[in-house]
Amino acid sequence: MKQNDIKLEHLALAPLRELLLASSAPHGHLCPRQILGVRLGLAGAKALNIEVPQQDKNLFAIVETDGCFISGVQTATGCAVNRRTMRIEDLGKIAVTFVNVKTEEAIRVAPKNDVREKAWEYAPKNEKKRYYAMLYGYQLMPEEELLKLEPVKLLNPVGNIISKAGVRVDCAKCGEEIINEREVVQDGIILCRTCAGQSYYLVPST
C-alpha cells in the first residue's frame, strides 16, 4: 500500500476511533498531534474527575500551542475558544493545563520526552516511516508511558481569565470598549492594554 492510499479510516483505531474521526474531519487528515490532543484531553479530564466531552463549562483548558493539536483537545473535552473554555498560551509546546473551574484544581499534561522513539514499539513490524509509527504509538501506548501529569497552580486564577459576563468599560485614550476586565488602570485612568503600552502591534507612520 502506498502512503497516499492509506485512508484516515484505516489509521483511527479502537478505542479512540470515534474521537479521532471527529477530530480529523475538518482537517481531512489524521496526524500525531491530533492524537496527542485527544490523549491529553482524556487524561486531564480523568485526573480532575470531570466527564468529557463536557456539556457545561467546568473544565478549562490552557493549551500551549495552536494548530491540529487543538482539534484533538477540543474533540475529546468539549473545551473551545469560542465557548470561553480554552485559551492559548503560545509557548510552542504540546501541552495543556486543565483546570477544574469550580475548585481551581489544575493539572498540566504533556507527552513524555521520549514518546517519539517509544512509538516504534507499537507500530507494525514492517513500518518504516516515523510519522506512521507515531500514529500507531500515540493511540496504543498506555497512558503512563505516553504522558506526564503534574499538579500546578495558576499564577493568574482561572476566575480572572474567565472574568464575568457583561463587564465593559471604555478606554480613556482610544475610546474602544474593553470586555472581560482586560483593562489596566494607570494613575487612576482606565486604559486598554494597547494604550497602556502593552500593544502587540505598531501603526506605521505615513
Task: Closer to Zn ion by CB, 152 or 190: give it.
Answer: 190
Secondary structure, 3-state, the chain: CCHHHCCHHHHCCCCCHHHHHHHHCCCCCCCHHHHHHHHHHHHHHHHCCCCCCCCCCCEEEEECCCCHHHHHHHHHHCCCHHHCCEEECCCCCCCEEEEECCCCCEEEEEECCCHHHHHHHHCCCCCCCHHHHHHHHHHHCCHHHHEEEEEECCCCCHHHHHCCCCCEEECCCCCCEEECCCCEEECCEEECCHHHHHCCCCCCCC
The nearest distance, CB 82 to Zn ion, in angstroms, is 20
Cβ-based nearer residue to Zn ion, 48 or 192 = 192
Q: Which is nearer to Zn ion, 119 or 192 (CB)?
A: 192
Residue with smaller CB distance to Zn ion, 74 or 100 = 74
Residue with smaller CB distance to Zn ion, 39 or 48: 39
- Judged by beta carbon, residue 6 or residue 159, the one nearer Zn ion is 6
Contact 179, 166 (CB under 8 A): no
Q: Name the minimum Å distance from CB 125 to Zn ion.
A: 26
Q: How far is the CB of 40 from Zn ion (least distance, A)?
A: 15
CB of 157 to Zn ion, least distance (A): 25
- Tell the smallest beta-carbon distance from residue 156 to Zn ion (Å): 21
Cα 203 to the center of its chain, rounded Å? 31
The DSSP bridge partners found for residue 170 are 177
Interface residue list for Zn ion (CB under 5 A): 31, 68, 171, 173-174, 192, 195
Give min distance, CB of 111 to Zn ion, in A: 15
Residue 199 backbone class (left: φ over 0; alpha: ψ -120 to 50; beta: rest): beta
